[in-house]
Chain A
Amino acid sequence: MTKMNRISALFSKAKEPILNVYTTAGYPHFEDTMTVLTALQEGGVDIIEIGMPYSDPVADGETIQQSNQASLDQGMSVAHLFTQLKDLRQTITVPVLLMGYINPVLQYGVEAFCAKCAAIGIDGLILPDLPMAEYEREYKAIFEAHGLFNIFLITPQTTDERIRHIDSVSKGFIYMVSSASTTGAKTGISSDQETYFERIASMNLQNPRLIGFGISDHSSFMKASKNASGAIIGSAFVKLIGQATDLRAEIVDFVQSIKGKK
């Protein structure tokens, strides 16, 4: 193996809970993508997940849907996003994931898409509507040839047997959806959810886990991190940047407050 994937490197050395923040590309304004990424890093984020906007994001709630549409309305596309990210690694050192739906990737061409990701310095992909069986059959070899980790989701309804299988094909981390819901539908962590977190923690999976959906502040972030390596924030962040008047300052402040550094 030549160079360790940035995600693996992060998890192997992290001592504090890992914060992964999702942001929609080209939001709130078309040219804001790199500004948002830079501010996230400045605030101390550990992983950045960039959402590639899609017209029909079925796993997402209202906040992320609207940010996707607003970005598309300003002309965002996969090709434009790659252009905006061409110098990514001149400033951004944290691991970066692209999150999106499978259709725009198919239209770009899976091979070409992965090659472009590798050239830019993307570390992994989250494609919620790409099922595991399809991934193993048609995509795994291409992703791996370009050093891209495919991040799988598990939910409270996923059976132990399937979790074991997902663990065996995963690299980097497993994305643990905190409840049966779309993004941004619920906030806070209930005791039922904590029981679920503990159940998964006791399975001793080979991959670390990040918990997402319903994480919006320092308290829910810390609660989730008790039974996982960290957590993911999406809708709460997208809501913030949609209303921000001083984008950079408010992002830095948000990240620091989530991590309890303020």
Chain B
Amino acid sequence: MANEQLSALIDATNTAVQEAKDDLTKLDQAIGDGDHGLNMARGFAAIEQDRDKILAKPLGPALQAAGMTLVMKVGGASGPLYGSLLMAMGKAAPEGEPDRASLADMLGAGVEAVKKRGKSDRGAKTMLDVLIPVQEALADGADIAKIRQVADDAAEATIPMVATKGRASYLGERSAGHLDPGAASSRLLLQTVCDVIEG
């Protein structure tokens, strides 16, 4: 991935997260503790602030540095979760330009790290319900339009789910009927990555 693309990704994800801050917070107020928008906004603003330091590195270490920034700056569980995702993706990154197969491997490593960190898996009404199907689509050779569709469908599919992980799980059955905030932010970030790749 060219440095310019990484630079564009930092800007685009920060802009997208700042714009979605209130929406993410509203989703989180319904079934969580109402801090997801604020926490994500703080984390991605911190990445933007660290941009020169991050962009001075090759892709792998750059992703690891961005992940560490999220871990240290977010303040909620989404920090270690998204931070672990990026750090594991960075560790799995190839030396040069990643191709589709290596991107799928990187996301696969990221998904495993999120599962481990969150002690969770598919079907618990979390960000994994978006990340896993998108990773599978990427590995299967889906084009960008298809990946967008998978991300969108997967996020919507969390609405009827009953949460078994995270703060929403305290609500039990009452968590059904709401879009999961982590699934929403994962969809947003993946869509933004697609925007940047399409240019």
Bound pair (A, B): no
- B-side residues, CB < 8 A to A, are none
